[in-house]
Every structure is written in structure tokens, then in C-alpha cells.
Structure 1
Amino acid sequence: MKSAMGQFQQSGMWAQVKEVDGWESLRVVATIEHNIVGGFQILWRKTRFGRIGYVSKGPVAVPEKQNLIEMLVILMREQALRNKILALLVQPPDDSRMTSDILDCHHFIRSNPLGVIETTLLVDVSHGEEFLDKRMSRKRRKNVRLAEKYGVTIREGTEHDIGLFFDLMCATCQRQGVKPNPPTEKSLRKLWLTFSRHNCLRVTFAEYNQEVIAGVINIVFGAKVNMWKKGWNFKYPDCRPNDLLFYETLHWACSNKFNNCDCIAFDRSIADAMQIGQPLSDIQQKSLHIFNLQFGGIPKLLPPARIWIANPLLRLFYEKVFARLAFFRDLSGSFLTGSQ
């Protein structure tokens, strides 16, 4: 089934990639009179607490009618029970109109223990290169010209470059004080082997003096280029390698007739401030997210994550206690990390 609502997280390719990190998958396809009208993919794995499941960017319904969505929500619960999944985390597709009432009615609690991304930044690349450049800030365009003047070049990577990209990504993660995700080079290599086979992956590197200093992995799916992971070894910052890398990705997407580039994540407080026309604070203006914003992106609020717990008593306890405690993210993150 092809749908504008479908995203790579609901693909069989993504399920294959997540197998490396210990996730198993089950897929359900819904039909009416032999026509496919929707479905979903559950990733699940065993933990010391039991089986935990995750539906990322699902369920997908075509068309998104209330009765069809409700049928899929009921099917998700039934499949979770049938497969002895104790807790199921769900985040609907980015453009879904699925209402909170439907999920509330079926006991999905508004909670995000996994820290699922609920805000992103989209850059419209569908109106041509001139339009694209005009939406960029003067600073970003100047830095692109500087990078070209200094001799920074962009090249596409191959399977042999996966280890190189993983090192760049780890350097960035270390500087930002976060764990790399995917956690191993093996996981990243599986991504390459799975997605590149279907022309759904593009890796590019910025080089200076024949040395690779930055890179980006793009997952290409539907009409969108997902700027999934980035890496930089923090060498030669004055040469502006990341500006040129980002610029080249946007122009590649534009010339290949995609609609949007998705930066995957964005600061929610900045998005909220922009939505109401509130000036950004000094801290917000120094955020790493401003770099992406200055390339002409527009923040997008995503559907919130919700969790369903099979045991009614535990569900009630979770809703009244744990869902209101900030530290629960750390508690549950210990066995859910790595599913995005």
C-alpha cells in the first residue's frame, strides 16, 4: 500500500534494521472487500519487565476516517494482547488527523517515556532552487560561499565509508553528551545494506584538503528526504563544512523533485515561541537548532506519543503516578532506548 501518510518507520526495511538491536516485528494489514485500507507495524523486544512494543508513525489509514482509525486502534490493542506485549507506545504519522478522543477512549495515556521526537523542522524544496536560496538567511548563504572559497567539497559515500561516518557521528554525540543512536557500526551498516538496495539512502561527506571532516545520512522515503544523522569531527570550523553539507543536501533534494527535507528534530520551546510570535531568548538564539532554522525551515509540531498498558490496574497506577513524574523517562528509557 502506498500512502502519503506512510513513513520509513513503518516499512519492512526499518524492521530489518532494528533486528540488529534486538527488536522483533509484527505487521498487520487491514482490508475491506479485498482492498488494503490501512495497517501498522509493531516493533517489540523482551525486557526484564516483559515485552515492550512501539508503533512509530502508525497506524496508517487510507483514507483517515474515524471508523477506520478506530478499527486500527482496536487491532493494535488486540495484537499487543495476543503477542503478550505488556506496554505499547504509539506515535501516529506526522500528518495524521487522528484525534486524542479516539486514543483516550481506548486507554492510550498521553505520555512519552521514550522521549519520542514530537517537534521537527521541515524545509520546503518543492519550489525551485531560487526560492530555496531566498528563504535562507544571509549568514547561511555567506558561509556556503566561504566553504566553497576555502575549497571544501562534497562527495557521496559508499558502503566502505560506513565506519568513517560512524566515527564522525560518535564524535558529535560525545561533544553533545549523548549516546550514539544507532549504538553500533553494525547497526549502521545494516541500515546501508537494507535501504540502499532500494535507493532509499544517501550518504554525503564534506572534505577539506582531501580529509573527510563531516557527513550526513539521508533516508529517502516517499516525497521526503529525512536528514537522519549527522557527524562532524570539529576540525576546520572556519571552513564551514556543515553549511555546505546542508546546502548541498537541500539542493539535491530540490533538483530531484522532492517536497521537503525533514531535519528530524527541533527544539519545542523555540517552535512554541515562533508559533505565537514571541521573541526568542538569548539561550534559544544560541541553540544548535537555529542553524537548521536559518536554512529556511518551518517548525512542525508532531502528534504526541501515547502509551497503552495491558494490565488495567497497572495502567491506572501509571496514569495516576508515573505519567506525572519526570524521572520516569529515565527509568523506562533504560529498556526502551534505541527504538526510534
Structure 2
Amino acid sequence: MGKGVKRKTTGVRILKYNNETSQTQIDPKHPDIQWIITAGAQDLVWDDFVSQHFDPQPEQTSAWGDVRSHWGWKPTRIYLKQDGVILGGAQIQEFVIKKILRVGYISRGPLIAEGVDPLLVLRAIKWLARKLRLSYVAVSPPYFCEPLVKAMPTAGFQIRPDALPPSVWHQATFLIDLKADLDTLFANLRYTTRNNVRRGLRSGLEVVSGSEKDLIVFNELMNSICVRRGTHPNLPGVDFVPKLWSRFAPRGWIHLLLIRYGTETISIRLILTIGKYARAWRIGWSGKYTKLFPNDVLNWETIRWAKEHGFEKFDLLGADRRDAEELLNGRAASEPYHCNITFYKAGFGGKLVLLPNEYCYFPNPILRWCMKLGLIKVLETKWFTGFTRLLYRKFVPRTQ
């Protein structure tokens, strides 16, 4: 950012940086705490906090917010500082529907430093939601945030009904602890998965690192796998991945691994790496050579790659919540699964983690009062759920 030029306002100090805005607000209840509000395309101070957090989440970086801005989302960050140290904060993605309804989404946030009272951060978020005149704020909390979840009802946040957007499938996941040696990690694979990997490697499948020029192939193979599944890529547009690469690659946060058979790329994995985590973010596959098990080989080689590059956790990114709840409550792993993807990912030996519930907040006090009186029951009806999802799909770009 360039040199700031101050201009006076009541109670808020605003700095203009090449059409980007940074504000500093004093916490009204704690004068020694500052609220920093930024809305620019890049905030390296916040990004460093995210990457060094014990639960680093790519969706909370300013780089992610900048990419999302190309599809109508406006990112704003608010974080708390005390004696120059960040206590916590969140990036809110804002979208305006037909110039009437303003919705906000906090994806995998807020992120709060250990030992900090979550109510301090939640109060700042509520202040920002009112300042932005948001009608509704959806929150997908980060992975490990028990103190935050306990504090949210006290702060006026409530569990989000399924009728209210966005629809989030990723509510459980498998995490692999990469501190173990490679032999142990391989031994933790399901017996059939290990055999599939061995067979694929013996058959001549080659694993190579990709680069930006391979993104065209990645998009083609990702679309191919979605067509076979009868779905669409959960991305707002075909340019999303190239734009994400342009913002993440300079910081070493994005990588590609390819499986080749001869000269043909048949499977490809896009990996997001931030902090101590490597995440299996998206995959593409031509559908060919199923008997060589290219995806089993690719997933194992991605785990190996993450281990060899010094990451401590590998996130397989996504499992069916029903399966997760039942397995964690004692259901035998040999019993049928609700989702084949969950069964497949379980074969790589990770620890099943159930993510926190989805939450929401209504800045308008009248609307919050109506929710308490029973409006929430109306929102949970089948017809209203269908209506809101149709409306959201029609007017709002995908949030992932």
C-alpha cells in the first residue's frame, strides 16, 4: 500500500490508499483494543496472522477475498489489535441482491488467537455488520473453535436453518497427521487402497509437479469428473482457478500434482497450502485407466508430497456429515455409507473430524426478535427452503 492521507471523521480514522480504505476504531468497552477495518485487495498483515494461526483457513485470506470480488462479492476485514498484536478477526464477503438485500458470509472464520475471549471479536463483527447495513450474516466457523461456538449464542448468533444460504456440504473431513514417518502413513491406508496404489505405480503411472500452464488441463479434467457425476464444479466461473493461482502462487499457497500415463495427463490434483496445512482442494480425472487406480496413486502421492515439504496436517477436505456423526457415535466402518466419497476418503487413514454447526446473525433487532418468536420455524419448512435456495442460486455466485 502507498502512503496514507488522513481525513477527519467522527470517532473513526480513515486512511485512503489508492481507492482502498483502512479504518481504525477504538473498542468502546476496551479502550486499549483497536478495531482495524480494511477493504483493499491485499492485507499482508491480516494474511500473515491467518497463515500463522493454529487453524489456518485459505478462505479468510485477503487474497481469497480479492479473487471472489471478480464475481460480485465485496470483502471487508475487521481484526482486533492490542499492543500491536492481533487478537483475532474475520473477513466478511458481502453481496447485494437486486440493490435490496445485503448478505454477508464469513467462510471458515472468525479466527481468534488462543486465550482470547471470543466475545471481543464477535462484538466487533456485529458492529461491522451494522455498519455495512447487512440484512443477514452467515457463518461457517473454522475447524477447531470450541470457545467460539460456546460464545456465539451469547452474542446473538444462532444455528443456521437449512433454508438459509449458503448450502455447505463440507461439514466434516479427514485429517492426516503427517508427523508420522512415510512407512507408518502408508500402513495406515486401507488394505485395498494400499494394493491399488502399488498396482498403479507398478503399471507405469508417473507423478509430476504441475505449473500454471497446466491449469487448462486441470479445468478440463475437473469438468470431466463433474459431468460423469451429473454435477457442476462448485466454482463461480471458469476463470476462478487461474485468478486464484495468480494470487496464491506468489506466496507458495497453491500447487498442482499430475498423474501421467505415457504422455497423457489422466488425473490432476490442486493443493492449497497455508500454514502447517496442505489441503486436497480439487481433483480432475479423465475417467480413463480405472484398473490402474490413478486417483488412489494421486492421493497417496499428494500425502507423500505434503510430508516431504514439511507440512504437519493433510486435509482431505470433505466428508458426509451423516456418516461422520454415525461413525463418531460408534457405527462400524464396515457398515454401509451414506456417501461413497466418505467411504473412499476413509481409505487413506485420516482422523475423522466433525466440523462445527453453521451459524447466522441478523443485525436488525426486530428481525432477531421475530426469530425468537417463531419465524425460525417458518424458515425450516420444506417450501421455504426450496424457495430460498432457488433465489440464492439465481442471484448469488457460488461461495466456495
Asked if TM exceeds 0.5, the reply is yes
Residues 34-73 of structure 1 aligned to structure 2 (within 5 Å): 34-48=84-98, 49-65=100-116, 68-73=117-122
Q: Which residue is 1:75 aligned to?
A: 124
User: Which sections of structure 2, spanning at least 5 residues, go unmatched?
Assistant: 1-48
Larger Rg: 2
Structure 1 SS opposite 2:156 = coil
Structure 2 SS opposite 1:43 = strand
Residues 181-330 of structure 1 aligned to structure 2 (within 5 Å): 181-279=234-332, 283-284=336-337, 287-315=340-368, 316-317=370-371, 318-323=375-380, 325=382, 326-327=385-386, 330=389
The AA in structure 1 aligned to 2:154 is C
User: Which sections of structure 1, spanning at least 5 residues, go unmatched?
Assistant: none
The AA in structure 2 aligned to 1:322 is L
- Give 1:87 deviation, angstroms: 0.9
1:33-63 residue CA offsets vs partner (Å, 9 max, x unmatched)? 3322111111111113422111112112222
- Contact 2:323–2:339 (8 Å) recurs in 1: no
The AA in structure 1 aligned to 2:70 is V
- Give 1:282 deviation, angstroms: 5.9
Name the % identity.
Answer: 27
The AA in structure 2 aligned to 1:52 is V
CA 189–77 in structure 1, closer or farther in 2 if over 3 Å, else same? same
Name the CA distance, whole Å, in 2 between partners of 1:221 and 1:307: 27
1:274-326 residue CA offsets vs partner (Å, 9 max, x unmatched)? 21221357641871222211110121011111111233344435523214545
- Give 1:20 deviation, angstroms: 2.2
- Report the RMSD for the aligned CA atoms in angstroms: 2.0
Residues 97-136 of structure 1 aligned to structure 2 (within 5 Å): 97-111=146-160, 112=162, 113-116=165-168, 117-136=170-189
Name the CA distance, whole Å, in 1 between partners of 2:249 and 2:124: 32
Structure 2 SS opposite 1:185 = coil
- Contact 2:77–2:92 (8 Å) recurs in 1: yes
- Give 1:105 deviation, angstroms: 2.4
Structure 1 residue aligned with 2:204, among 151, 175, 178?
151
The AA in structure 2 aligned to 1:57 is R
Count residues with an aligned counterpart.
338
The AA in structure 2 aligned to 1:35 is V
Structure 2 SS opposite 1:40 = strand
CA 339–64 in structure 1, closer or farther in 2 if over 3 Å, else same? farther
Name the CA distance, whole Å, in 2 between partners of 1:297 and 1:328: 38
CA 24–275 in structure 1, closer or farther in 2 if over 3 Å, else same? same
Name the CA distance, whole Å, in 2 between partners of 1:270 and 1:211: 36
The AA in structure 1 aligned to 2:104 is G
Taking CA–CA contacts closer than 8 Å with sequence separation of 6 or more, which of the two structures ends up with the larger relative contact order?
Answer: 1
- Contact 1:270–1:280 (8 Å) recurs in 2: no
